[in-house]
Amino acid sequence: MNATEAINPASTDKSTADSSGSMITSQGLTKHYGKFIAVSDITFSVPQGEVVAFLGPNGAGKSTTMKMLTGFLAPTRGHASIGGFDVFENRQEAAQILGYLPENGPLYMEMTPKSLLHYCARLRGLSKEFTATRIEYVVDRCSLGTVWEKPIGKLSKGFRQRVGMAQAILHDPAVLILDEPTSGLDPNQTHQVRDLIRSLAKSKTILLSTHILSEVQAMCGRIILVNNGRVILDGPVSALSEDIAGMEKRFQELTA
């Protein structure tokens, strides 16, 4: 079996979508920090196989929403589910089918990519054989060969981001939530990560946050635009505009 054939049954099991067919569900998610409302009543669902851009200016509430969707932050109100599993009530089931790239990448600065990915595989209970084939795959797809045994804390932002991507896709999850996946990458690395996301999009449901409009056009079919913690547009990319210049103008008008 080669690396790309190592499939986690959870990633291809269509029965994991909820009864409405949604793989990612945000139901009235709201987050207050004291009197400040960071996220207010965000509701949307992402059906199986869709690649959705979670778009908005800095401070719009994208990361906060993603942290609640992935079960890393408790909402003030509302619910989040992945593949029909509530991320707090059915945490383990949701985590099995979810890969998450947090905004600041992997935090274990003293570990190496090798030790981190083996550690993640053990935490997830992956078999030795599956771990070996998946590690071969992620090292290749995320180009980690040259930094494999270097401490993550010594790596550039671009390499750290790719270690984060490797950790997110290691268990071959059906759903990916990626917080600014190309942040800090140079143009070549950006190209490589976009290619990776496009190839993952063939078999996975993806929600990715960004404020880069060319990224939206290159990778996504649908936009959920947030501003001041609220959804202000949800529709096909063409709902913003057909071309980048038009998209930028409309984005500015809507988020000014």
The residues binding ligand ADP (CB under 6 A) are 33, 36, 38, 56, 58-64
Question: Residue 42 CB: number of other CB atoms within 10 A?
Answer: 25
Least distance between ligand ADP and beta carbon 73 (Å): 9
**Parallel/antiparallel/unpaired status of strands 222-227 and 230-236:** antiparallel
User: Considering Cα of 249, then 176, then 15, then 20, what sign does the dihedral take?
Assistant: negative
Question: Residue 1 CB: number of other CB atoms within 10 A?
Answer: 10
**62 or 204: CB nearest ligand ADP:** 62
Q: Which residues contact 125 (CB under 8 A, 6 or more apart)?
A: none
**21 or 59: CB nearest ligand ADP:** 59
- Which of these, 202, 245, 236, lies nearest to 55 by C-alpha position? 236
The alpha carbon of 44 is separated from its chain's Cα centroid by a whole number of angstroms, namely 16
Least distance between ligand ADP and beta carbon 211 (Å): 8
Least distance between ligand ADP and beta carbon 31 (Å): 8
The secondary structure of residue 149, as a DSSP letter, is T
Least distance between ligand ADP and beta carbon 208 (Å): 12
**28 or 125: CB nearest ligand ADP:** 28
**113 or 164: CB nearest ligand ADP:** 164
Least distance between ligand ADP and beta carbon 54 (Å): 9
**16 or 26: CB nearest ligand ADP:** 26
